[in-house]
Amino acid sequence: MRSESTALVSTASVSTHILDTAIGRPAQGVPVVLAVRSSANGAWQVLGGSTTDGDGRCQDLPVPPAGTTHVRLEFRTEEYYAGEPAPKDTALSGTDRREAVFFPEVTVAFAVNAGEHHHVPLLLSPFSYSVYRGS
C-alpha cells in the first residue's frame, strides 16, 4: 500500500516513438517538444524536448511535474523532412522529401493520470499521420 505522501508526489510518465510508414523505418532526427498543464483550461507550460534517435524514440523527454493533468507533444515534422533524402531502398527513393511536407508539425494533446505511463506512438507519412495510446 502506498503512503499518502508518495501518492501526492506521484506523477505520470510519457514516452513516444515515430515510425515513418512511407519508408518503413523509424523516423530519426524529429524534434519533439513536451508541454504540460494542470487543468483543462490552464495555460500550457513547455518543459523541454528531445530528438528521436535511430530507433525513432525520444530517450530523454522531461518528466511531467506532480499535478499535471494534460500533456502536449509537438512533433516538428518539417525539420525531419528537410533533412536527409529518402533512403535509396525505399518507396520514396530519389524524391526530395522537402516537397512532401503537408503537415509541418503534428501536435497531440492528451489527458494523463498520476502514476501511469503514457506511450504515444506517431505513425507518419508525407500526407497523413496517426497516433494512439501504446503500452
Q: What are the tens digits of pLDDT across the range 74-106?
A: 999 998 888 666 656 555 555 555 566 789 999
**For the chain, what percent of residues have pLDDT higher than 70?**
79
> Lowest-pLDDT range, 2-11, 43-52, 83-92?
2-11
pLDDT of the residue at 11: 83
Structure pTM? 0.83
Contact 134, 30 (CB under 8 A): no
Instruction: Give the CA dihedral 131, 120, 46, 13, nearest 10 degrees.
Output: 160
Q: What is the mean pLDDT of the chain?
A: 86
Task: Give one DSSP letter per residue of 66-118, joined into a string.
Answer: TT--EEEEEE-HHHHHTSSPPPTTSTTTT--GGGG-S-S-EEEEEE--TT-EE
What SS3 state is found at 9?
helix
The domain segmentation of the chain, as residue ranges, is: 12-114
pLDDT at 71: 97
11-45: b (≥16 Cβ within 10 Å) or e: bbebebbbbbbbbebbbbbbbbbbbbbeeeeeeee
Residue 15 pLDDT: 96
Which superfamily does CATH assign the domain made up of 12-114 to? Transthyretin/hydroxyisourate hydrolase domain (2.60.40.180)
